[in-house]
Amino acid sequence: MRDLQTSRLNISAGFRSGVKVSPLVASLLLSLSVWSCVDADADSPSILDFGMSAGEMAGMSTGEVAEVRAGEMAGVSQGGRMIEINPPEELSIATYNVQNLFDFIDDPQRDEGEFTPNVGDWSRSTYEARVAAIAEALLLIDADIVTLQEVENEVVLEALADHLLSIGGRDYQFRATSSTRDPRGIALGVLSVYPFHREIGRPISQGVNCANGETLDGSRPEARPIYEINFWTDESGGGGGGGEMSLTLLVNHWKSRASGDYPCRVREHHERGAMQIKSLLIDWLTEEPTRAVVVLGDFNAEESEPSLSEQINAYLNRAELNEVGVLYNLWGELGVTASSSNNATNSTYRYDGDWFRLDHILVSQPMVSDEGGAWRVKSVELIRDQRLLNNGRPYGWSSRQTQGYSDHLPLKMNLVLNR
């Protein structure tokens, strides 16, 4: 089975001094899209890489397909506005599960359930109210880059970004969604004020032999791909996505606990995702020990569960970060320890009266080390604005009442550039 994925031509960064670009060329570069077939069953990632190497940007005319070598560049003009492509001195990144943000287009190839147009309470007006509500939440989050779980496609992201801008929010000019094999069509998304160089959809290729005799090997749509997004990469570093000031995000949405143990136990599904991430980390950080990697999203697992604590090796204590490929779970910055109980002040999700920490931001060891690379963690926060709560719990969306936001709370971290 093959899925179609759309990718925008994103302007590569890491460019630091002034080549002028005409608005026409910049507009062309920023809007050009290609359709790419992605084999979700394949072991290799679907790499959507349109970064610039050395070239003749200023002289390129409309209609030309050119290799662009941008060299040293501070910004690009789009419609008279300068788009900053150097990394900023400070950067904020958030993760937010937006709880089934579907559009109002009937997709006969997907089971959209209650979010099929004109089925149940899902109407154009409820869709528009839904977009407006999530835009209000993004206004509260106020991050430079927001990674999202449970979005349907770029149609939704465009509506979301447009509405947010209309109410005084950030201008998320750069946005994209991952490929998905989820039968309902939910995917991962990113909204960013900064251009990203590469998007990579990484199908889970690691195999797991389950206790019930089944095998998870990617032959069925039992796992959503990991969504890799690279910022400020060094073109000379080849396809690895590295570079002195590069930043790599791995966005995740693991199998829900509520979805049942099919075809294997939920924890065995989680193990596959953890193994895939660990493999990437070992490869990247062995080759480039100071690389900044952020693994974030809705893991549907808590920090003490084996998939996070043992298979990925994500620790709550900085003192345990003593080997290649381990991660620091930023819940540790919020006072969570191995013996912490869950409560309303340190959790993101509530079910049947109990609180859970299912959403995480994990960072590579150099990002919290005195001898690390370019990016350092400054702070992290659980966004608990009262407007996102209802009776002390996350204010989940209700189509019937046309109210609410999401059944998850967002997490946000702030980074500083250590030049």
Share of the chain above pLDDT 70, in %: 77
260 in helix, strand or coil? coil
Helix/strand/coil (H/E/C) assignment for every residue in 29-97:
HHHCEEEEEEECCCCCCEEEECCCECCCCCCCCCCCCCCCECCCCCEEEECCEEEECCCCCEEEEEEEE
Q: What is the mean pLDDT of residues 341-359?
A: 96
pLDDT, tens digit, for every residue of 202-231? 888 788 889 998 888 877 666 778 999 999
Share of the chain above pLDDT 90, in %: 59
**125: helix, coil or strand?**
helix
Across the chain, what does the average pLDDT equal?
Answer: 80
Report which of 409, 373, 418, 415 is spatially closest to residue 194, judged by C-alpha positions: 415
Tokens standing for residue 284: 């990247």
| CA–CA separation, 71 and 68 (whole Å) | 9
Helical residues (DSSP H) of 322-398, grouped into ranges: none
Residue 155: which H helix or E strand, with range? helix 154-166
pLDDT of residue 311: 95
Does 49 have pLDDT greater than 60? no
- The one-letter amino acid code at 269 reads H
Cα(first)–Cα(last) distance of the chain, in Å? 45
**For 127-139, what is the mean pLDDT?**
98
Query: For residue 61, what are its two tokens?
Result: 């005319």
Q: What is the pTM of this model?
A: 0.82
Tell me the C-alpha distance between 216 and 269, whole Å.
8
Identify the three-state secondary structure at position 5: strand
CA torsion 46-103-406-358 (nearest 10°) is: -20
Span 68-104, pLDDT tens digits? 222 223 344 444 455 657 899 999 999 999 999 999 9
What's at 39, amino acid-wise?
D
* Residue 65: pLDDT band with limits 50, 70, 90: very low
Can you tell me the distance from the alpha carbon of 414 to that of 405, in angstroms, rounded to the nearest whole number? 23
In single-letter form, the type of residue at position 19 comes to V
The residue-averaged pLDDT of 45-74 equals: 31
Pairing of strands 292-298, 349-351: unpaired
CB-based contact 299:359 (threshold 8 Å): yes
The Cα 208–Cα 263 span in angstroms is 12
359 φ, ψ (degrees, to nearest 5): -105, 135
Domains along the chain? 2-35+49-82 (no CATH), 86-417 (3.60.10.10)
**Cα–Cα dist 300/413, whole Å:** 20
With CA atoms as reference, report the closest residue to 71 among 89, 51, 88, 91.
51
* Under 8 Å between Cβ of 215 and 208: yes
> Tokens 């430079």, residue?
144
Torsion of CA 367, 373, 375, 378, to 10 degrees: 50
Give the phi and the psi of residue 271 in degrees, each rounded to 5. -60, -40
- Using an 8 Å Cβ cutoff, are 331 and 343 in contact? no
pLDDT of amino acid 225: 87
Structure confidence by residue, pLDDT tens digits, 104-125: 998 887 888 888 898 889 999 9
* Whether the predicted pLDDT of 291 surpasses 90: yes
